[in-house]
Amino acid sequence: MMAMDQLVKTDEGLVEPIIFSDEDIYQRELERIFGKCWLFLGHESMIPNAGDFFTTFMGEDAVIVIRDSGSNIRVLLNKCRHRGNRVCFFDRGNARAFTCTYHGWTYANTGALTGVPEFDHCYLGELDKDAWGLLQAPRVDTRAGLIFASWDPDVMTLDAFLNDMGWYLDHFMSVPFLGGLEVVPGVQKYQMPSNWKLAADNFAGDHYHFPSSHASFLKVFREFSEQGIKARGLRGRSEGPAYEVSPGHPDGVPHAVGQIRPGTEKYEDDLQRAADLGPEAVDWVKYRYARLQEALKDHPVKPYSFTRGHVFPTFSQIGLSSALEGRGLIAWHPKGPNLTEAWEYCAVEKEAPDVVKRNAILDLMHGQSAAGLIAPDDNENFERMTDNLQSPMGKRSPFNYQMSLHRDESYPGREEWDIEGLPGLVGFHTTEVNQRQFYRYWQQLMSA
């Protein structure tokens, strides 16, 4: 394997394409990144009661996220300690215990081994059950209702890991001043024959691709608007400045927020759209705006929304640009150097009227979803990039991340908006500062 400092040269804005296809690098990522970082798993609203659980992955490890009988959230490795069979086959449910289908060992929802068939007769009562409970993630925590876990007992706290990004999650994800979010039942899963970093990098700061990758989406929207046709999923796209934010982090953990909208433009946009949904929706948009202003009263800058965000390594958010849109919470699960499985949850604001919730779900599904107007465009690009990564010449030349290189701390235009009070490095235009930071930190973890 090429040395890490040869693979990623962020000072020159160069990344070797082999990092998106190499098996050895991928295996190292499973250990150094997915075995160490805080990973997004889901939302507290998915497991409100004792015994509620859902299953997901941490890297390639299958886990059960469960609220145990004592109401603690635990993350259990979905692997029987006897011979390694899965102990749970369901996406979600409620359970006091899990019984393995192979030889019948039973585990309480705390992970403790409680039942061993023929314990007296075959084991002569001599198995130390306390030592053979399900393995569990040693660190589990929540922020803004979002559940995270890490396999590393010494990982920094979740709040420290998120740092400035926590502020954005608190205000736009958790919305505690609006009663929080709830995830609607179900998860949309789709596979992409490409490396997880292509999707993560896209969400981490690539607004540059939007006009060309999503030209058909923009064209349909324009034509519908010209004809006066209102359609769900074709959201109002305000003109004017939007801001890319690279939340600051002392250890350089590269989270990102994209397309922040200051001012009242998006609010007025929402009011117009709410009028089509009826007075209840209009009242909600007004009420929500007032609560948001109150929540941000100590902040000189009061952004209304942001379009997308990314928490390193694999948690993306989309659809936070409007009071009427569902929030997409996406985990990019790695399934090999050339395969990723997207798991997308849809969250809505809990106190919103039903008409707004229904609209929010449809809006999200018509845009960023497996059969929406947006996600397939990206996936096709990733697939073709991956095809090129398999050929000798295709592997040779580095990818270019040189946009506004050496301007990471001094974007032109920063002074045009008073960014005081808004955490992180705020950029007036699209740059690749976030992606450079992403690969810098990736390199740091992979070299450790």
Query: Which residues sit at the interface with ligand FES, rule CB under 6 A?
Result: 80, 82-83, 85, 100, 102-105
Binding at 80: pick from ligand FES, Fe ion, none (beta carbon under 5-8 Å per type): ligand FES
Which residue, 86 or 440, is less far from ligand FES as judged by CB?
86
Element (H, E) at 378: helix 375-389
Q: Is 376 left (phi over 0), alpha (psi -120 to 50) or beta?
A: alpha
Q: Which one of ligand FES, Fe ion, none is in contact with 103 (Cβ closer than 5 to 8 A by kind)?
A: ligand FES
Whose Cβ is closer to Fe ion: residue 322's or residue 443's?
322
Nearest-angstrom CA–CA distance, 74 and 72: 6
Q: How far is the CB of 368 from Fe ion (least distance, A)?
A: 8
Question: Can you read off the two tokens belonging to residue 323?
Answer: 């009071």
**16 lines the binding site for Fe ion (CB under 5 A):** no
Strands in 97-99's sheet, in edge-to-edge order, are 97-99, 106-108, 113-115
Rounded Cα distance, 305 and 263, in Å: 10
CB of 101 to ligand FES, least distance (A): 7
* Count of residues interacting with Fe ion (CB under 5 A): 1
Q: What does the per-residue mask of binding to Fe ion show for 319-358, with x meaning CB under 5 A?
A: ----------------------------------------
Q: Give 38 or 105: the residue with its C-beta nearer to ligand FES.
A: 105
**From the CB of 105, what's the least distance to ligand FES, in Å?**
4
Shortest spacing between CB 121 and ligand FES, in angstroms: 16
Whole-Å CA distances, 212 to 73, 130, 206? 43, 58, 12
Residue with tokens 């992970």: 111
* Closer CB to ligand FES, 106 or 142, in the complex: 106
- CB of 408 within 8 A of CB of 436? yes
Least distance (Å) between residue 77 CB and ligand FES: 13
The least CB distance from residue 40 to ligand FES, in Å, is 29
Nearer to ligand FES, 64 or 73 (CB): 64
Number of residues that make up the chain: 448
Torsion over CA of 341, 344, 345 and 346, rounded to 10 degrees? -170
Residue closer to ligand FES, measured from CB, 82 or 302: 82
Q: Check residue 363 for interaction with Fe ion (CB under 5 A).
A: no
The least distance separating ligand FES from the CB of residue 103, rounded to whole angstroms, comes to 3
The answer to whether the beta carbons of residues 434 and 57 sit under 8 Å apart is no
d(CA 426, CA 411) in angstroms, rounded, equals 8
**End-to-end alpha-carbon separation of the chain, Å?**
15
The mark string for 370-409 relative to Fe ion (x by CB under 5 A, - otherwise) is --------x-------------------------------
Pair 89, 81: CB distance under 8 Å: no
65 makes contact, choosing from Fe ion, ligand FES, none, with CB < 5 to 8 Å by partner type, with none
Residue 211 binds: one of ligand FES, Fe ion, none (C-beta under 5 to 8 A by kind): none
The encoded tokens of residue 312 equal 């390193």
In terms of phi and psi (left: phi > 0; alpha: psi -120 to 50; beta: otherwise), the region of 332 is: beta
Residue nearest to Fe ion (CB): 378
Task: Compute the distance between CA of residue 361 and CA of residue 365 in angstroms, rounded to an integer.
Answer: 6
Do the Cβ atoms of 357 and 347 come closer than 8 Å? no
Q: Considering the complex, state which of residue 82 and residue 207 has its C-beta at the smaller distance from ligand FES.
A: 82
CB nearer Fe ion, residue 344 or residue 378: 378
